[in-house]
Chains A and B, each alone.
Chain A
């Protein structure tokens, strides 16, 4: 295998994991756009959604039927959490809200452990084994499948926001909630929808990554850090940035793991932290984000 093919092989694998980070980062960015909240519990919500999918499959449902059911449950769950956990602290100081989402993180994690125990579960691989050969680069069906699913999710979000009136209303709320209310929009309902949507997009990342990482309550901890790096890199208010950032972080992770001996497999979890730090120092608003301007 030539050096170039080897390199492309690594990039391909990086894109596969990057797609997973992209989808969780997308969930983070959605909530941040709508509510200004950084949701530390996003990964845990994805994890519990994955357990729901696992439970459905374990009780005999086919995966491709369990998936839409899981997404619907996640949507409802996200709306419910906004209503009962987040809305009471909406408008509270930022630190209060951060602590509430951290609390949600701990609570959801413990609940998952209580219900399903902390033992590792095998999550069925939904894509066939094997893959295709592209000019010497082997692309697994699972990698292609993950990228394909995330691409579909992105496409659907694009359709929603750009071509459907509900999406226009959501963008208006994200942009200027006070004016949205004056136009008769029930902003609190839209925020609920935003949380539901984010939980659904996050659930996709959980379900995609579970066959690789194996299912356990702490499964999404690492993914969340990569997603944070992705969202920071892309800009916390930019969905496109989240996706580009996710893919970049995935590739960076794989490449440093493969080529930088010091880093290797053990230290590559440090990659997202280096990325976060570098972005915050050089361009705090991220690649696609806009600098926050406080009007005097």
Chain B
């Protein structure tokens, strides 16, 4: 068995393998039942990639985790049940979701978008000098990850390019200081180079902040480079799970399920 040239072979060596634990998760929209019972766990500090073709239920999985769609079964984060909560409650429990299509506040400036991300920490009664200083420090931290956002801090978010908006969406999510970061198709509609840059930043954030990440992607190559664990979803069921490096190596299996050649496919 050859060592992969890129990708993450090291595990996060978490003492908490079940930091996020999804058990028998069912979810859907009205009559349409999208998820047919998912079981997986994400260890604290790890990046988990959920791959699969269009319509497999990747986005629905993330939406069920953050309360945007109702789910049945059980999803616990650090032992706390997430199902049955609204998105704003999930956010208060440390779940930051970067939705498909980014969901930036286009009328607000870049910096205002980021400040909204810190809303939970600057709300009434938590303002104070210490709170403000912490938010200012976090702003700097985000600008260090995304120098382009610093240049554009006074611009309306609506005037940014797609890649910059995605950076802003991730930056805003990080301002929440989440314990769980959910990324829905961060590469959607972006140029390959921009996508690669984004995933490098996601990797850096994961390494430096030890933020647990669940990323949903169609671009399997990129996601597997960053992820520790990966799951392949098809028609609402997990058909393949394992360490990202292993799934990456097992190109043939992935090809069958993903409809793409994982090992030879270029980014984008």
Interface residues of A (CB under 8 A from B): 165, 168-169, 171-172, 174-176, 178-187
B200: chain A residues at CB < 8 Å are none
A182: chain B residues at CB < 8 Å are 66, 68, 87-88, 91, 96-97, 99, 103, 173
A174: chain B residues at CB < 8 Å are 107
CA–CA, A178 and B69, complex, Å: 12
With beta carbons under 8 angstroms apart, the residue of A171, A180, A184 that contacts B107 is A171
Q: Are B103 and A179 in contact (CB under 8 A)?
A: yes
Q: Is B106 at the interface (CB under 8 A from chain A)?
A: yes
A186: chain B residues at CB < 8 Å are 88
Q: Is B120 at the interface (CB under 8 A from chain A)?
A: yes
B116: chain A residues at CB < 8 Å are 168-169, 172, 180, 183, 185
With beta carbons under 8 angstroms apart, the residue of A169, A176, A181 that contacts B104 is A176
Residue ID in chain A nearest B66 by CB atoms: A182
A-B pair number, CB within 8 angstroms: 71
- 21 sampled A-B residue pairs with Cβ under 8 A: A165-B119, A165-B122, A168-B112, A168-B116, A171-B107, A171-B112, A172-B108, A176-B106, A178-B99, A178-B103, A180-B116, A182-B66, A182-B91, A182-B97, A183-B116, A183-B119, A184-B88, A184-B91, A184-B92, A184-B176, A185-B119
Q: Which of B88, B99, B103, B172 has the most C-beta atoms of chain A within 10 angstroms of its own C-beta?
A: B88
- Give B132-153 as 1s and 0s: 1 = Cβ < 8 Å from A's Cβ atoms: 0000000000000000000000
CA–CA, A176 and B120, complex, Å: 17
Q: Are A185 and B88 in contact (CB under 8 A)?
A: yes
Q: Are A172 and B86 in contact (CB under 8 A)?
A: no
B231: chain A residues at CB < 8 Å are none
Q: Are B103 and A184 in contact (CB under 8 A)?
A: no
Q: Are B92 and A176 in contact (CB under 8 A)?
A: no
Q: Are A168 and B99 in contact (CB under 8 A)?
A: no
Q: Which of A171, A176, A179 has the most C-beta atoms of chain B within 10 angstroms of its own C-beta?
A: A179
Q: Are B108 and A181 in contact (CB under 8 A)?
A: no
Q: Are A181 and B91 in contact (CB under 8 A)?
A: yes
With beta carbons under 8 angstroms apart, the residue of B106, B127, B172 that contacts A183 is B172
Q: Are B92 and A172 in contact (CB under 8 A)?
A: no
A169-B116, A171-B107, A184-B92 known; A179 vs B176 contact (CB < 8 Å): no
Q: Given contacts A165-B127, A180-B116, list 12 more A-B pairs with CB under 8 A.
A: A165-B119, A165-B122, A169-B119, A179-B99, A179-B103, A179-B104, A181-B86, A181-B91, A182-B66, A182-B68, A183-B176, A187-B88
Size category of the binding interface on chain B: 20 to 34
Q: Is B105 at the interface (CB under 8 A from chain A)?
A: yes
Q: Are A181 and B87 in contact (CB under 8 A)?
A: yes
A181: chain B residues at CB < 8 Å are 86-88, 91
Expressed in whole angstroms, the minimum distance between the Cβ of A180 and any Cβ of chain B is: 7
Q: Are A179 and B105 in contact (CB under 8 A)?
A: yes
Expressed in whole angstroms, the minimum distance between the Cβ of A168 and any Cβ of chain B is: 6
A169: chain B residues at CB < 8 Å are 116, 119
Residue ID in chain A nearest B92 by CB atoms: A184
With beta carbons under 8 angstroms apart, the residue of B96, B115, B127 that contacts A168 is B115
Q: Is B236 at the interface (CB under 8 A from chain A)?
A: no
Q: Are B120 and A184 in contact (CB under 8 A)?
A: yes
CA–CA, A176 and B157, complex, Å: 12
Expressed in whole angstroms, the minimum distance between the Cβ of B189 and any Cβ of chain A is: 12
CA–CA, A168 and B115, complex, Å: 9
Residue ID in chain A nearest B86 by CB atoms: A181
Q: Is B57 at the interface (CB under 8 A from chain A)?
A: no
Q: Is B117 at the interface (CB under 8 A from chain A)?
A: yes
CA–CA, A184 and B66, complex, Å: 11
Expressed in whole angstroms, the minimum distance between the Cβ of A184 and any Cβ of chain B is: 3
CA–CA, A168 and B112, complex, Å: 7
B104: chain A residues at CB < 8 Å are 176, 179
CA–CA, A179 and B108, complex, Å: 13
Expressed in whole angstroms, the minimum distance between the Cβ of A94 and any Cβ of chain B is: 21
Q: Are B108 and A183 in contact (CB under 8 A)?
A: no
CA–CA, A173 and B106, complex, Å: 11
Residue ID in chain B nearest A169 by CB atoms: B119
Expressed in whole angstroms, the minimum distance between the Cβ of A173 and any Cβ of chain B is: 9
A178: chain B residues at CB < 8 Å are 68, 87, 99, 103
Expressed in whole angstroms, the minimum distance between the Cβ of A288 and any Cβ of chain B is: 13
CA–CA, A186 and B116, complex, Å: 12
Expressed in whole angstroms, the minimum distance between the Cβ of A259 and any Cβ of chain B is: 40
Q: Are B97 and A175 in contact (CB under 8 A)?
A: no
Q: Which of B96, B107, B112, B173 has the most C-beta atoms of chain A within 10 angstroms of its own C-beta?
A: B107
Residue ID in chain B nearest A33 by CB atoms: B107
CA–CA, A147 and B122, complex, Å: 36
Expressed in whole angstroms, the minimum distance between the Cβ of A185 and any Cβ of chain B is: 6
CA–CA, A176 and B103, complex, Å: 7
